[in-house]
Structure 1
Amino acid sequence: MRVSAKSDYALRALIEMAGRTDGVPVSAEELGRLQGIPHGFLQAILADLRRAGVVVSQRGQSGGWRLNREPEEVSVADVIRAVDGPLVSVYGLRPESVSYNESAAVLQHVWIAARSSLRDVFEQVTLRQMADGKLPKAVTSRTGDEDAWQPH
């Protein structure tokens, strides 16, 4: 799987929001400055997140962006789906919608298994956990394997 800049930036901005305890909206300018995200790109990402109900905007002098749901209710998978669509797609289709001839039919099972594997991590990790720097044991145990850190 390739993590897009859009997903990475969205998660970084949301971790920044989740880490704030004052509940005060944060401007896109400040989010961009703190996380090194280009302003125009961040505005488009925030619009996608608003459409998905993850964030809300507040106008006015003390306006900005804030989470629309509790950070423990928003998973990495929710964010990726909001800005990039399905976790796994094949030619823009969900893996269960792709059909192959008999000799390649097994490939559909590979795509479905890959999606399941991604869900095992992305649906378990929430904005709250990331903002607190405390990932679930099932996730951290995967990073304990030296091979996980090696490019292949």
Structure 2
Amino acid sequence: MLELAVRQDEGAVKAETVAAAQVIPHKFLEGILGDLRRGGIVDSRRGGNGGYRLARPAAEITVADVVRAVDGPIVSVRGERPTGLAYTGPAEPLLPLWVALRANVRKVLEGVTFADLATGELPEPVRGLAAEPAAWENP
């Protein structure tokens, strides 16, 4: 996605170019690009001038959009969305915990566009979270 974002004004980019630039196996990348095309994130063209390009400006595509297109729901528990879960007894507090986790992950991923990443200018809330020393620790 970042290769396409930084080359947005160049037109379509061949999958081979992206694969080589990011050291990703071409077949693996084609699968991801297919998911992104079906998700309306990228467009593709065939032919000599063909390749892939962003379906809309990088400033309108969030990291959350891409995660959803490739992996589905951003946060799941046992393969289900948190809102589809039910707990009883002492486990009841788990549901609001999973919902809060999902809300925070969504807040970060929906707040960062590919234009932000392409320019290296992450939004302040994300920079602030990343600046916390505890964020870099592996407990």
How far off its partner does 1:85 sit? 0.6
How far off its partner does 1:119 sit? 1.3
List 4+ stretches of structure 1 deviating above 4 A. Answer: none
Deviations along 1:22-63, one digit per CA (max 9) or x if unpaired, are 332111111010011111110000000000000010111011
Residue 128 of structure 1 aligns with an amino acid whose one-letter code is A
| Whole-angstrom CA distance in 1 between matches of 2:8 and 2:84 | 43
Correspondence for 1:30: 17
Correspondence for 2:33: 46
Residue 11 of structure 2 aligns with an amino acid whose one-letter code is V
Given candidates 56, 76, 79, the residue that maps to 1:69 is: 56
59-68 or 19-28: bigger deviation: 19-28
Q: For 1:104-115, what aligned pairs fall within 5 Å after superposition?
A: 104-115=91-102
How far off its partner does 1:101 sit? 1.6
The two structures, once aligned, show a CA RMSD in angstroms of 0.9
TM-score by length of 2: 0.96
Correspondence for 1:85: 72
Report how many aligned residue pairs link the two structures.
139
19-28 or 41-50: bigger deviation: 19-28
SS in 2 for 1:37: coil
TM-score by length of 1: 0.88
- When residues 87 and 21 of structure 1 are mapped into structure 2, their CA distance, relative to the original with a 3 A threshold, is closer
SS in 1 for 2:134: helix
| Whole-angstrom CA distance in 1 between matches of 2:8 and 2:86 | 48
| Whole-angstrom CA distance in 1 between matches of 2:22 and 2:8 | 18
Residue 16 of structure 2 aligns with an amino acid whose one-letter code is E
Unaligned runs of 5+ residues in structure 1 are 1-13
